[in-house]
Amino acid sequence: MDEQQIFQEMVGILKPYVKDPALLEGVTKDTHILDDLKVNSARLVDVIIKCEDAFDIEIDDDDADQIRTIGNAVDVIKTKLQ
Amino acid sequence: MKRRVVITGMGVVAPNAHGLDNFEQALREGRSGIRFFPRLEELKFGCQIGGAPEGVEELLPDYFGEEERLSMNQNIGYVSVSAVDAWRDAGFDLPGDEDSADWETGAILGCGIGGMDTIAEKVVPMVNEGKTRRMGSAIVEQVMNSGTSARVGGLLGLGNQVTSNSSACSTGTEAIVDALWRIRTGQATRMLAGGSEGPSPHIWAGFDSMRVIARKFNDQPEKGSRPMSASANGFVPGAGAAVLILEELEAARVRGARIYAEILGGTVNCGGQRGGGSMTAPNPEGVQRCIRGALADAGIMPDEVDAVNGHLTATFADPSEVWNWSKALGRGPDTFPHINSTKSMVGHCLGAAGAIEGVAVALQLHKGFLHPSVNCEDVHPEIAVFTEKIPREVMEYPELKVIAKASFGFGDVNSCLIFKKWEEA
Would you list the DSSP string of B36-71?
E-HHHHHTT-S--EEE--SSHHHHHHHHS-HHHHHT
The Cβ of residue B70 has, within 10 Å, a number of other Cβ atoms equal to 15
What residues in B contact A46, CB-CB < 8 Å? 70, 136-138
Q: Is B338 a catalytic site residue?
A: no
Q: A-chain residues within 8 Å CB-CB of B138?
A: 46
Residue range(s) defining the domain that contains residue A47: 3-81
CA dist B240 and B12 (Å) reads 8
Single-letter amino acid code for the residue at B112: G
Could you tell me which CATH number the domain at B5-254 has? 3.40.47.10
Cβ–Cβ contact A49 with B under 8 A: yes
Q: Among all residues of chain B, which has the CA nearest to that of A60? A: B133
Q: Which CATH superfamily is domain B266-421 in?
A: Thiolase/Chalcone synthase (3.40.47.10)
Distance separating alpha carbons of residues B389 and B407, to the nearest angstrom: 20
Alpha carbons B107 and B171: distance in angstroms, whole number: 13
How far apart, in whole angstroms, are the C-alpha atoms of residue B346 and residue B364? 16
Residue A46 to residue B70, Cβ atoms within 8 A: yes
Q: State yes or no: is B371 an active-site residue.
A: no
Residue B323: phi, psi to the nearest 5? -65, -35
Reported as type and span, the H/E element at residue B339 is strand B338-340
Q: Please check whether the two domains, B5-254 and B266-421, share a CATH topology.
A: yes
> H or E stretch including B363?
helix B353-367
Q: Cβ of B66 under 8 Å from any chain A Cβ?
A: yes
Largest CA distance in chain A: 34
Task: Indicate yes or no: pTM above 0.95.
Answer: yes
How many domains does chain A divide into?
Answer: 1
The residue annotated as part of the active site, out of B18, B47, B111, B311, is B311
B137 in reach of chain A (CB within 8 A): yes
Is B247 in a helix, a strand, or coil? Answer: strand
Cα distance between residue A39 and residue A37, in whole Å? 5
In angstroms, what separates the C-alpha of B74 from chain A's closest C-alpha? 19
Contact B149, B107 (CB under 8 A): yes
List beta partners, residue B51. Answer: B34, B238
Which residues of chain B have a CB within 8 Å of the CB of A40?
67
Residue of B nearest to A40 (CA): B67
Q: Pick from B67, B97, B134: which is nearest to A16 by CB? A: B67
CB atoms within 10 A of CB B353: 31
Q: How far apart are CA B282 and CA B321, in angstroms?
A: 9
Question: In this structure, what CATH number is given to the domain that contains residue A23?
Answer: 1.10.1200.10
Q: Tens place of pLDDT for every residue, chain B, 425 residues?
A: 689 999 999 999 999 999 999 999 999 999 999 999 999 999 999 999 999 999 999 999 999 999 999 999 999 999 999 999 999 999 999 999 889 999 999 999 999 999 999 999 999 999 999 999 999 999 999 999 999 999 999 999 999 999 999 999 999 999 999 999 999 999 999 999 999 999 999 999 999 999 999 999 999 999 999 999 999 999 999 999 999 999 999 999 999 999 999 999 999 999 999 999 999 999 999 999 999 999 999 999 999 999 999 999 999 999 999 999 999 999 999 999 999 999 999 999 999 999 999 999 999 999 999 999 999 999 999 999 999 999 999 999 999 999 999 999 999 999 999 999 999 86
Question: What are the residue ranges spanned by the domains of chain B?
Answer: 5-254, 266-421
E strand or H helix at B243: strand B240-248
Out of A16, A19, A46, closest to residue B137 by CB: A46
Report the distance separating Cα B92 and Cα B10, nearest Å.
12
Name the residue facing B65 among A19, A42, A44 (closest C-beta). A19
B18 close to B56: Cβ distance less than 8 angstroms: yes
- Kindly name the residue from B47, B290, B338, B348 that is annotated as catalytic: B348
| Closest CA of chain A from B242, distance in Å | 28
* Closest C-alpha among B315, B328, B330 to residue B409: B315
